[in-house]
Structure 1
């Protein structure tokens, strides 16, 4: 890049108005995300909402650049995934009754370490997992479609915003007025949560997901829930509770194995080939994981951030050198897993990645239970942020926003989000007390409760090891073992509902072909409408969360 052009690019995409709007939005979105994650046990992606909000507010300042709006929304949304990483792990400490053993200073250390590692990892893997891969990133694609359609005066914009309005109205009827259940068509199958999730967003994710990924995702669900849980218990091999422990362990193993496969196939082997083939150095230098490290300054900044995260874990959180090194190394592996998961499914099971590393650390160290939660929190924040950043990078690739400007926006929003997340958690704890967190309490804290119950160890070590080995082998053979693992681990209704979205896509493509509609035109229309459906529920979900925050704090 020509150095003389940098100030102009900076002014055009990272303006004072954009930073101000982004920071104010970041505070609001992050606060609502903490509340939503604790209260509802889920965290809607805010990206579509922030994209539209940023564009509207910037236009009020007379600015119409889509790239500037994109960078602004990056700042606004970055803190939400930091909030999710904390909310999905740290409350487990309070659920176990160890409230006095954690302070706000330590929570801040967890958030800072996770944020630093998440930002470093995404800087390293962006080129490989956005530009060189065929990952869909349905959330990032939907955000790009929203921004592009905002300047359309014709049918594209009408389709997108019409679908957005209908999905939003559906969400209001379901969640605000309570006129529809969240799950329909439930069947009483022992050990299997068989139902259809009443969520337009879930169907849209299936519509946008790749057909191949969805096949493996569904195959994993059938294997885990109907093969091991239902089939195994029906045949008397084991009881339902034991089978569920085996399935969760196998699913975690498959996902961890996928991450190990990435390290072997996409990192270790290319590096070995590069070292053994010096004549290829000039042609491979700009490819792979480290393509964005273009100067010693870039490398130095990332090295300092990594060292800072390790020092925070080692000294600030008193985890010790060995555990801190493991956290740094596995944060890279799990960030890659997060990028794959978000890219293929639009789902970022950040607490699962944190749980995997927690269990690994517990197996070789004598770290206390509270500090095991810190380990999970750091990884969950890093993976949550990685999923958000990579999805945003996909948006930028589609509309032409420079990655460096987006990464700087992520830095601003993520660090602001660390402070806001901790403040909100501390405020909720002070206002409602530790007894307000748990399955039957005011804040159900579903994910944190899972982490709390798993602190004692892996339910089935053999199943985890089998999943680990199989996941690594399958990935190296080109089979998406991450999606297989997600299907095994996630509740069956979630996978089944997403698969219905893929079936709708299949039927849509067949009908369009039968009517003689040009393939590219039909695909564009389908993606735009699905993006609108995805965005509509996301926007209303965030608005409902904002209203819940205000009502909860005032009540």
Structure 2
């Protein structure tokens, strides 16, 4: 018996040693965790501002071109680490360094940057907000109901709707992070990245990653600058290079030498890039050539490219049907996961009738079963409380201001519409935050579409239902999007021992930055490019026309659709649901090759050219992984981030040159042999 007891003690000792070896916090035991006010430093905010401008340009460019925005958390964390580390070393050499750079400060930078650049997405500059404009309204069936962008009202609108989501889920942070132990994959991955940066080995790798990022940033920026010289007018330059032939080019099948899409392709999963290409082949390779032959039978001949009574109507509404089918399925799926997960967790933990709130402490019995890492994290997470009354009071106060203010910005959006949204928004924000914790999906756009149809139909066509629906979409999207973003940041803070207060404050500061930076960046694009939002533009803003037409469908019904378009919409709507269902039923192992309908829908409107670029990015990463997987895993995201950042930031000087009236000097165009002979003959005469 004594021998068995000793063996048991030995086993316990071995388990404790293994736990210590796998412990993250053991590495940081000698580092004192600074109080929350010292985590939010002036240098962190200064770096956050610079990176926020950079990332806002990147997100805005992607928003106005394809609408596909990859996760930029890795880039934000990496660049934040590099800037502050370099600054700290400079001060250290001069003897002026007063505070070392900690992982908590790194987390604050990442939180600020992601919150700020997130406004460039949730602000709807490539979707609902730009869909209100006259430029987009001219392409839709209802051309009279519009509101043109202006810097003043956009900033005011964002300030009154972007903070509500933060206050709506603050009281539930303990339930989500500690009690339910939700994974929040993006927040967890970001935390592991930041923790690794602040170890000796991680710092060395980070230095190499930053060097790779800087190299490809320079290459991408220089290549974008070089291409600019050949784009004197539309359809000029490398972006008009008929790399697959002139016939294919007419149907938008070409490689446009865009570094930003190659970088996005390296970050996005393979299945997204393949889905985009399949969608482009199905639409521009098969469907549109067939529908062109129906001109004069199914729709009137000689219509403009933007007339929704013709081929453009099929392109827009079939894409909308795919998006709505996919969105509805995933919304119901995540809501189902949310309800089942809540039920199981409440049952297994045998909770009391009242759920725990943020100010309650975990029971001592639970504490004793936790690892040393978890005990330290929980202690830190519960140390700086955010009072529940502060969150509730903040939500009520901002709601009151918003209910009074928004009808002055959008007279069509009555105060009682807004009141109803704010009454149901906290429950939807919780669902979105919980679903993101389980699946890493934020379904903010799905909740926004629900608001479009419900508020638009409630208002009606005669009372500005289109603008009311689009504005309601913005209100709902901002609430549920910032709620899930904040909970992701709380998870990151939990794993890096960052104070919840510093996370909340940095999120508020980042959101404040975004409410000013994002509209200013959009305004530069809007003023610099007169064809912004048109299908053939460099910046077609595909989701703007789609959101606009969703609002019109919700208000006016299907009367304006071309012949058989409604039938095709039903087919693709049902197909999106069936494809998703089959993908889930067969499981991840066998369903990895089944395409994603949401991704397939995007090239239906703007063409497959960007999908070709993204597939090239996937191919580069695939070959790299086969040659050296470890190196590809370490440096792939850094290389991709460099390509995205370089091309993305070039849009700033390009926009300034356009505003100053400086045009590229050369037009590089490609003609068929026959057309070239005609041009030569004309010039010769």
Question: C-alpha deviations, 1:398-436, integer Å up to 9, x for none?
Answer: 76655653342111110232244456767988xx59977
Q: Does 1:251 align with 2:323?
A: yes
**Higher CA-based Rg:** 2
Closer, same or farther in 2 for the Cα pair 1:209/1:140, shift >3 Å? Answer: farther
Whether the aligned pair in 2 keeps the contact of 1:140 and 1:394 (CA below 8 Å) is: no
Provide the rounded CA distance (Å) in 2 between the counterparts of 1:94 and 1:11: 43
Residue matched to 2:474? 377
Q: Name the counterpart of 1:92.
A: 131
Mapped contact 2:454–2:469 kept (Cα < 8 A) = no
1:258–1:311: structure 2 CA closer, same or farther, 3 Å change rule? farther
Bigger drift between 441-450 and 411-420 goes to 441-450
| Alpha-carbon distance between aligned partners in 2 of 1:194 and 1:121, rounded to the nearest angstrom | 46
Mapped partners of 2:221, 2:41: distance in 1: 35
Kindly tell me: are residues 397 and 199 of structure 1, through their superposed partners in 2, closer, same or farther at Cα, counting changes over 3 Å?
farther
Say whether residues 1:10 and 2:41 are aligned partners.
no
Cα distance in structure 1, aligned partners of 2:659 and 2:443: 28
TM-score (norm 1): 0.71
Shift of 1:254: 0.5
Per the alignment, in what secondary structure is the counterpart of residue 531 of structure 1?
A: helix
Residue correspondences, number: 526
Displacement of 1:134 after TM fit? 7.7
Q: How does 1:172-187 map to 2 (within 5 A)?
A: 172-178=221-227, 181-182=238-239, 185-186=243-244
Say which of 161, 164, 167 aligns to 2:216: 167
Deviates more, 1:232-241 or 1:87-96: 232-241
* Residue 525 of structure 2 corresponds to residue 487 of structure 1: no
Q: Tell me, yes or no, if the aligned pair for 2:244 and 2:253 is still in contact at 8 Å.
A: yes
What SS does the corresponding residue of 1:8 show, helix, strand or coil? Answer: coil
TM-score of the superposition, structure 2-length normalised? 0.59
Aligned ranges for residues 35-54 of structure 1 at < 5 Å? 36=61, 48=75, 51=80, 52-54=82-84
Structure having the higher helix fraction is 1
Give the Cα separation in 2 of the matches to 1:385 and 1:64: 27
Structure 2 CA distance for aligned equivalents of residues 22 and 258 of structure 1: 33
Alpha-carbon contact 1:221-1:484 (below 8 Å) kept: no
Map residues 334-349 of structure 1 onto 2, 5 A cutoff.
Answer: 335=432, 339=436, 343=440
2:350 aligned counterpart, secondary structure: helix
1:317 correspondence with 2:374:
no
Q: How does 1:212-231 map to 2 (within 5 A)?
A: 214-215=270-271, 218-219=274-275, 222=278, 224-227=279-282, 230-231=285-286
Q: Structure 1 residues 107, 216: CA separation in 2 closer, same or farther (over 3 Å shift)?
A: closer
Indicate which of 640, 651, 660 corresponds to 1:534: 640
| Partner in structure 1 of residue 666 of structure 2 | none
| Contact 2:331 2:446 (C-alpha < 8 Å) held by counterparts | no
1:69 aligned to 2:106?
Answer: yes
Q: 1:361 aligns with which of 455, 466, 476?
A: 455
User: Are 1:46 and 1:542, in contact at CA under 8 Å, matched by a contact in 2?
Assistant: no
SS of the aligned residue for 1:87 comes to: coil
Which residue is 1:519 aligned to?
none
Quick check: 2:444–2:480 contact (8 Å CA) kept in 1? yes
Q: Deviations over 1:181-211 (max 9, x none)?
A: 358745656997544564555455555555x
- Counterparts of residues 343-422 of structure 1 (less than 5 Å): 343=440, 354-355=448-449, 357-366=451-460, 368=464, 369-382=466-479, 385=482, 401=498, 405-422=502-519
Offset at 1:165?
Answer: 3.3
Computed over aligned residues only, the root mean square deviation of the Cα atoms, in angstroms, reads 5.4
In 2: Cα distance, 1:341 partner to 1:469 partner: 21
| Mean Cα deviation higher: 334-343 or 410-419 | 334-343
Unaligned runs of 5+ in 2: 1-30, 92-96, 138-143, 231-236, 299-310, 363-377, 408-412, 555-560, 662-685
2:162 partner SS: helix
Q: How far 1:68 sits from its partner (Å)? A: 0.9
Secondary structure of 2:218's aligned partner? helix
CA contact (8 A) 1:171 1:540 kept: yes
How far apart are residue 10 of structure 1 and its match?
A: 1.1
Aligned: 1:455 with 2:551: yes
Q: 5+ residue gaps in structure 1?
A: 513-521
